[in-house]
Amino acid sequence: MKEKVVLAYSGGLDTTAIIPWLKETFDYEVICCCIDCGQGEELDGLQERAALSGASKLYIENIIDEFCDDYIVPCVQANAIYENKYLLGTSMARPGIAKKLVEIARKENAVAICHGATGKGNDQIRFELGIMALAPDIKIIAPWRMTDVWTMQSREDEIDYCKAHGIDLPFDVASSYSRDRNLWHISHEGLELEDPCVEPNYDHLLVLGVSPENAPDEGEYVTMTFEQGVPKSVNGQEMKVSEIITKLNELGGKHGIGIIDIVENRVVGMKSRGVYETPGGTILMEAHQQLEELVLDRATSEVKKDMANKLSQIVYEGKWFTPLREAVQAFIEKTQETVTGEVKFKLYKGNIIKAGTTSPYSLYSESLASFTTGDLYDHHDADGFINLFGLPLKVRAMKKAELDKNNNK
């Protein structure tokens, strides 16, 4: 009986070419596994394509709700944003995919897991760190790094290889954007985006929505509720998280929300330029932060910002299955105990405009914040506070003046 390998399968040209290559190079039985994180119509026709390519079996595993509840929600609660822009759409999905690949490998008694990530990208790290953490005994195969036996260097090479093995599928020889899509976002790389001085061709590029210029001239009000940092409803309708993100994607895409153009620092040390569409995620992050402003005290907010940066780095680098991620997430979850309430905002041509926030745990006191004198705040108390708060500055200035005077004698 042949040994089995589980292939992380998308149905694209790369992973299609890998199927006969694995059989030819290692004499493996190839089990394809496609993890559904909300790719939509990209999953159409995969069963036939995998069989035609030589796979003995195809699993299509729907983890959309798990992706939302176990990976997206903790990052939203943390306000985890990599390099102040990237909402971690690809990064958050990878640990869930790795976990499911390991589950299928165990079920099939496979000796190896194979992925089609390139040797220049972040995904190879994310997949492999996840697999290592969950199944250190399973072999990992990364064809694009095996240049002694993987000789294909272009789409043309892969198409020719497939045809030579009796796989004649309607792949386009012409180059196109390299994209990754799930329920949270879609990323775009390649073509004109490879030159940072060139403006993106948004009319050709966008998939989930429109540019702000093409958004409606009328704004649209949206109301959301949260319970302990978890989104619960949109416009009065209670829904599970995946349904909320789907609804917000529709609203955000319509109004040109969540389009970013970024040159980011990859884990492997190079810079890469990409455009991300995250319409619903951008709204959800902003609404959550809008509520936190009202309910978190200053000291907690300051430390939480540090933890948000730390979590974004952990997730970006593929270190989800680590004690550090668990510890940071535990801190974040503690801060969410009072993040309950309602937020209202207006979507207008790429902008999310505040329109009111309420919470039973609000720390805002109108009597304290107003210009009138209230019972809790005596203006005279500020004298002593400023004297003590500014004491280090005053002492330093006095010592410096004394030193200058001595030096000038």
Active site residues: 14, 94, 123, 178
SS3 per residue for 54-100: CCCEEEEEECHHHHHHHHHHHHHHHCCCECCCECCHHHHHHHHHHHH
Alpha carbon separation from 256 to 21, 235, 262, 332, 348 (Å, rounded)? 42, 19, 17, 30, 8
Dihedral (Cα; 209, 213, 215, 221), 10-degree rounding: 110
The residue type found at 31 is I
- Separation between Cα atoms, residue 70 and residue 37, nearest integer Å: 12
Which amino acid does the sequence have at 149? V
Query: What is the DSSP code string of 160-208?
Result: HHHHHTT-------S---EEEE-SS-EEEESGGGGSTTSPP-HHHH-SS
Is 15 buried (19+), middle (13-18) or exposed (0-12) by CB count in 10 A?
buried
DSSP code for 114: E
